[in-house]
Amino acid sequence: MTDSYCISVKDVCFAYNKSNHILQNISFDLEYGKVLGFLGSNGAGKTTTVKILSTILKPQSGSVTVFGKDTSKFSYEIKGRIGVVYQHPSFEESLTVERALDLYGLLWDIKKEQRKIKIKELLEEFDLEEIRNAQMSELSIGQKRRVQVAREFIHEMDLLFLDEPTVGLDPHARRLLLDYIKTKVRSGLTVFFTTHIMEEAEYLCDQIAIISKGKIVTIDTPAGLKQKYGDVKTIEIRIDCIIDQYIKRILETSSSNMSDISFPKSNIIRINSIDAQGIMSKMINSLSLSGIGVENVSINSPSLEDVFLTVIRSNT
């Protein structure tokens, strides 16, 4: 097999039972030294894909190669070159932070002196120095998450799977993590990254694949996705009262598709539409005729989150 791609997936299908098809003929390639963001709603198949790529599960049809090697035949060799951070933490609660890192390095057969050097670096990079002697059971969810991600970097790897790694992290810790990953990518690390936070995907990823109901519906660079769906503009209307069911019924008469309407705040209406000017005029007119004051209106190019919502809604 060729190893021109770090990961190559061709027509992969997987189902936990006959009536529950998690993955349906997904195909994609990931180049060495790049970050692929894998985005989708809960239950779309993201974690199952990570488990297949990291050789925990075998595809039921199709082919998967990592480092040019079939994951079904070379599982042990592939596992020695990858790191995986799953959604759910896994720790011995009685261990201290420092001991948890040390034990993980020992499992990877890293020599004691090397472990000491690496642990010192990770404690500093992930802002864990002050809690190095705290037991895992004493930590907050965010602190445990930082330890879980940090420990994966104690060993050398060529490919890292991150399954929603920033869950529970505050903005400062999140940025520390993303910046650390960026430095590793510049050194040659390849990353497969799932997240629900669009700003993270845009900040970190070279390419983004969006999966819906087990199918990859689009894949491109963040800029490419925005350009592809650039005809869809985002309208924001701020009104002078709280949005209630009466106002929502008014909006229904002005829009052919209520699924394109959201309410990010109690007095803000957000609409994604190709016909932004036309929809905006209809809505402002309907609101005004109903005695509802409009305080501010804007039309913006779509954000990555807008693109994601547009793609998911069009495939539901």
User: Other C-beta atoms within 10 Å of 188: how many?
Assistant: 9
CA–CA separation, 158 vs 192, rounded Å?
11
pLDDT at 19: 67
pLDDT in tens, 88-137: 777 788 899 999 999 999 999 999 999 999 999 999 999 999 999 999 99
Task: State the average pLDDT over residues 172-197.
Answer: 94
Neighbours of 263 (CB within 10 A): 13
pLDDT of 1: 41
The chain-wide mean pLDDT, for the chain, equals 90
d(CA 162, CA 268): 34
Residues 6+ apart with CB under 8 A from 298: 235, 236
pLDDT-above-90 percentage for the chain: 66
More confident position, 259 or 117: 117
Q: Which residues pair with 69 in a beta bridge?
A: 66
Contacts of residue 234, defined as CB under 8 A and 6 or more positions apart, other chains included, come to 270, 271, 272, 276, 299, 300, 301, 302, 303, 306
* pLDDT the model gives residue 150: 94
pLDDT at 43 over 90: no
What residue ranges do the domains of the chain occupy?
7-222, 231-300
Which CATH number describes the domain made up of 231-300?
Answer: 3.30.70.2470
Instruction: Pick 7-222's CATH classification: 2.40.110.10, 2.30.110.10, 3.30.300.130, 3.40.50.300.
Output: 3.40.50.300
CA distance readout (Å), 225 to 79, 121, 144: 32, 37, 34
Q: Is the dihedral of CA 166, 172, 173, 175 positive or negative?
A: positive
Q: What is the pLDDT of residue 4?
A: 84
| Closest to 3 in 3D by CA, of 86, 108, 81, 119 | 81
Question: pTM for this structure?
Answer: 0.80
